[in-house]
Structure 1
C-alpha cells in the first residue's frame, strides 16, 4: 500500500481563529479518510515568542515571523489565513500567485475592491489546479447542512420568508478595550462584517438564493473605548487614553433574494445576555426549519402537511450516522461541538485539493457577501430605502 501524499500547511495568524483552525487540521485526518495527510508545518506571526508558544500549544512543527518567506518556500502546499481582514488580500494574492492552495477566513476582505482582486487571483490560479476556499464553518455543521438538504428536497415547499440574527453581548461593557475588531482599517466593519457575514452566507447556503438588494441601518453605541497597551490579539489591558470606535456595533437590515423572497437580518454585539446566538428560520408553503447555534446539534422542523392535531415543531437530534459528517465521529446520540466545524472544513478543503474540484464557498462567493456588506453600509449612510447589490 503506497504512502499517502503529504500536504504541508502554513497558517498565518494565531489568535482565536488560529486555535480553531489548528484544531481542525490536527483532528480531521484522525477521523476522516483523507486522500492526503495535512501536516501542520509552519505557524507564522510577528511576535516570535508568542507565536512559538502558540505553536507548541497547538502542535505546529516550526514557526516564522515573515509570511513572505514562508510563501516562497517550495515545501509549503497550503496557506491558511487567519489574520485580521486588512491583510487578507495581500497575503492571499501572493500565496495564489506562488501556486499555493489558500484557505482564508471570512469575511474575504475589508472592501469589495480587495475581494474582487482576490477572486481574480483565485480564478487565474484555478487554471493551474490551485484551490481556494473561504472559511464559513457554519455551513459545515451537520444541522445546517441537513437544513440545506431538506430545503433542496422541497420539504418546506416554496420559501416565503427568511429571518436571521446573530446576537452577542461582549461589547456591552464600556471598559472593554479598543481591540482590532473595533478599528475599521483592520476589521473593515464591526458587527456587520464580523457576524453579519455569517448569517448572510448561511441564509444563502440553506435557501440556494442570493440577495440582490438591501435596506439597512447601522449604529455605533459606544463611540470611544480605552486604548490597548498591547494590540497583539484580542487581549491586552486598557489604558487611560481613549480611542474612537470606527465600526458599527449593531446592523439591522432587510434583504430581497433573487427569488423575490424577503429576509430580515440583525447582527449585534450589544444583545445583553446573548453570548453566541446565531439563529435562522426559513418559512415555506409546506413547512419551516429553524436553527440556533447555541443548540447546534438540533434542527427544528415543522411539517405543515401533517394533521392539525399533531402539528408542531419537531426537534431533530442531528447525531445519526445518516446525518452529514456524523458517521466519522461518535456513536449515535453523542454530541458535537463548535470545534468540529473546523475539522469538517479541513476535511472538505483537503478533499478539494486532492480531487482537483472547486471548493465551496469560493472567493467569488466571498465577493458577493462583501458586496452585500457594502450595500448595507451604503444604505445606512444614505438612509435609502433600497440599495442594489
Structure 2
C-alpha cells in the first residue's frame, strides 16, 4: 500500500464491546501502526453497558476514554471508524446506524443473527459505499499467513482441480455441563451456537480458498447439554452444541463441515484438508505457522506431505514481523485484518470480506439450519441478489 493518500488524516476509532473480541481487536489497533505502513489511528473511545467495567477496560487496553451510549458516539466528528465487537443481536442496529452516520464499519463475524438482518446491513453498506464509506466483516482466519499462502497455491494451480474439502472446527469449552449460562447459548442473543460461532469460519474458508460459492447443503444440528446453570437456577440452552453439513459448490467441489463446542480434548482446532487432481493441502490452527503440501507430480518413491514453515518475509504478511524462523501467533491475524481494512479505506477500495460476502455466509448458515430443522435431504442456499463492485 502506498500510504498515505491523505498524509494529514488521522482516523479516530470507536469500538463497541470490550470482552473477548474487544480485547483481541484492541491489541490489533494498538500495534498495527508499529509494524505496517498504514494511516495513523487514534483509539478514541471504548463503549460498553457497564460504566465502571468499560472504564477499566479502556484504561487497560489503551483507549482514551469510555462511554455507555453507542448512539452518542456516532454523532462525534472525531470518530471515523466504528469497530463492532458486541454480541450478534446488536450487529445490525449498530452497523446500519454507523454507516448512515458516515462511519467506516468493521463488524465481527458472523455478520448478523438472521438472514433478514444481514440483508438490511448489506443494502445499507452498498448505499454507504457510493459515498466512500467502507465496511468489512471480521473473518480473521483469512489473515493467517499459512492460509493466505494456501489460497495463493490453489490459485496458481498447484492442486490442479480441487475435488473435495474437509473442514472441522472443534472446541471443548462447553463439554462440562456445569459451565454456566452465557449470551452465546441463547438464540435471541447469539442467533445460533457452534453453527454461527465457529462453523461460519470454516464455511468462509471453504469459499475463500476455492474461490467458489456454496449453493446447496444438507445439515444436522445437535444440542447435547439442554440446560446450564444460571444466576437464578437452571436455564434452557436454545442453540446448537455441534453441527455437521455436506456442501455443494458452484464449480463441482464437494465439501464437509463439522463444528463442535463439546469436543472433549479439542481446544481450538480448525483443520482444513483440500484434495485436488495434482496435489493436496492440510492445515490445523493449533499449528498456525505450518502448511502441509503434497505434490502429486512427485514420484511415488518420494511422494508425501511436506511441512512448509510459513514465517519467511516472502510469505503473506510476514515481511512486517520478526526475522525468518520466528513464528507468530493467533493475535497477529487481527492486526493483519486491521491493516487490510485501513489500506482499503485509505485507497477508497471495498475491503474483503465485504458485507456481501458476509451475507453469503449467512445464507449458508440459514440453509444449514433450515435443512436440520426440516430433516430435509437437501436445501438450496439462497443466493444474494445484492452485488458489489470489487467484492
Normalised to the residue count of structure 1, the TM-score between the two structures is: 0.96
Report the counterpart of residue 292 of structure 1 in structure 2. 284
Q: Distance in 2 between matches of 1:113 and 1:3?
A: 40
Report the counterpart of residue 28 of structure 1 in structure 2. 32
Q: Distance in 2 between matches of 1:196 and 1:112?
A: 16
Gap regions ≥5 residues in structure 2: 382-391
Per-residue CA distance 1:61-93 (angstroms, 9 max, x = gap): 011100000011111000000000000000000
Instruction: Give yes or no for contact 1:10–1:70 (8 Å, CA) kept in 2.
Output: yes
Deviation at 1:31, TM superposition (A): 0.4
Establish whether residue 350 from structure 1 lines up as the match of residue 342 from structure 2: yes
Pairing partner for 2:333 from 335, 338, 341: 341
SS at match of 2:151: helix
Per-residue CA distance 1:325-356 (angstroms, 9 max, x = gap): 00000000100001000100110010011100
SS at match of 1:310: coil
Q: Distance in 2 between matches of 1:56 and 1:50?
A: 10
SS at match of 1:308: coil
Deviation at 1:4, TM superposition (A): 4.5
Report the counterpart of residue 276 of structure 1 in structure 2. 268
**Number of residue-to-residue matches in the alignment:** 377
Pairing partner for 1:82 from 81, 85, 103: 85
Pairing partner for 1:368 from 360, 367, 370: 360
Gap regions ≥5 residues in structure 1: 230-238
Instruction: Give yes or no for contact 1:85–1:109 (8 Å, CA) kept in 2.
Output: yes
Establish whether residue 52 from structure 1 lines up as the match of residue 44 from structure 2: no
SS at match of 2:179: coil
Instruction: Give yes or no for contact 1:157–1:285 (8 Å, CA) kept in 2.
Output: yes
Q: Distance in 1 between matches of 2:37 and 2:8?
A: 11
Pairing partner for 1:265 from 257, 268, 276: 257
How is 1:150-169 mapped onto 2 (pairs within 5 angstroms)? 150-169=153-172
Per-residue CA distance 1:135-194 (angstroms, 9 max, x = gap): 000000100000000000000000110000100001011110110100000000000000
Pairing partner for 2:236 from 239, 244, 255: 244
SS at match of 1:243: strand
SS at match of 2:150: helix
Deviation at 1:3, TM superposition (A): 5.2
Give the CA RMSD over aligned residues.
1.0
Report the counterpart of residue 126 of structure 1 in structure 2. 129
Instruction: Give yes or no for contact 2:163–2:252 (8 Å, CA) kept in 1.
Output: no
Pairing partner for 1:220 from 218, 223, 229: 223
SS at match of 1:40: strand
Q: Distance in 1 between matches of 2:257 and 2:34?
A: 38
